[in-house]
Amino acid sequence: MSWNRSLRVGLAIVAISTGACGLKTEAPIVHQQCDNPGVQLAAVLEPYEALQAKGCGEGLHGTGSDCDRLRREIERLAVVCPRHAPILMANAILAYDDRRTADAQQFLDQILAQPQSHPDAAILRARIAIEEGNAAFALRLLPDEIMLVPDHPGLHETYAGALYLVGRLSDAATELTIAGSLGAPRWRIAYHLGLIDEALGRLGGAATLYAEAVAANPGFAAAESRLKALRAGLGTRP
């Protein structure tokens, strides 16, 4: 059984953190100094996200080259503003999406080396470690970040994934319950709690939780698959 490790960290999160929404910026930034880095980042992210929504390079004339140009500009901003956390985060996400995990880790480590809390960076860094089979790293990183930001649902949810992978199922369930109380999507919490019940042999409870996840998020393939398999197995039981 595998923990659901899918990750989609939207660049919109980074754009919001710059505090520069709503800018009218049709052209990429060309500044060579780190002046107003949040504004510079938002000016590139907004058109990039608009192109992403249309499908970069998917049959739209010129879209692929425009996406590449904007991505290069985001990368350039990391050179111009090497300590600006939202810029580093944007580059980490781009590198992660390109499966350049070593580059993503480098950007994330630069963020996490800075003072204050950076929960989104910690979540992505931990999930990369989990995907590489290094749950121990996530188990070291996440509790410290949770101490700084105890009300962040994503931190608790990611921590639950690491706990699950090392067999600490009761602790994982506790973290999922906390994440749910803090606002994590119930369909995702139900699915992961179902994985824990299934691992513990509580198949009826797991089936109920998977059904809840599917009802809350129709088309959730992972939950549908596990539910069908369980129902088939349970149907043969006395």
Q: How far apart are CA 186 and CA 82, in angstroms?
A: 37
Do residues 5 and 222 lie in contact, with contact meaning Cβ atoms separated by under 8 Å? no
Q: With a cut of 50, which residues of the chain have pLDDT below it?
A: 1-31, 59-62, 235-238
Tens digits of per-residue pLDDT, 204-224?
Answer: 999 999 999 999 999 999 999
Q: How far apart are CA 150 and CA 143, in angstroms?
A: 9
The overall average pLDDT reported for the chain is 85
SS3 52: helix
Q: What pLDDT, on the 0 to 100 scale, is given for residue 65?
A: 83
Q: What pLDDT, on the 0 to 100 scale, is given for residue 54?
A: 83
Q: What pLDDT, on the 0 to 100 scale, is given for residue 64?
A: 60
Burial environment of residue 84 by CB neighbours within 10 A (0 to 12, 13 to 18, 19 or more): buried
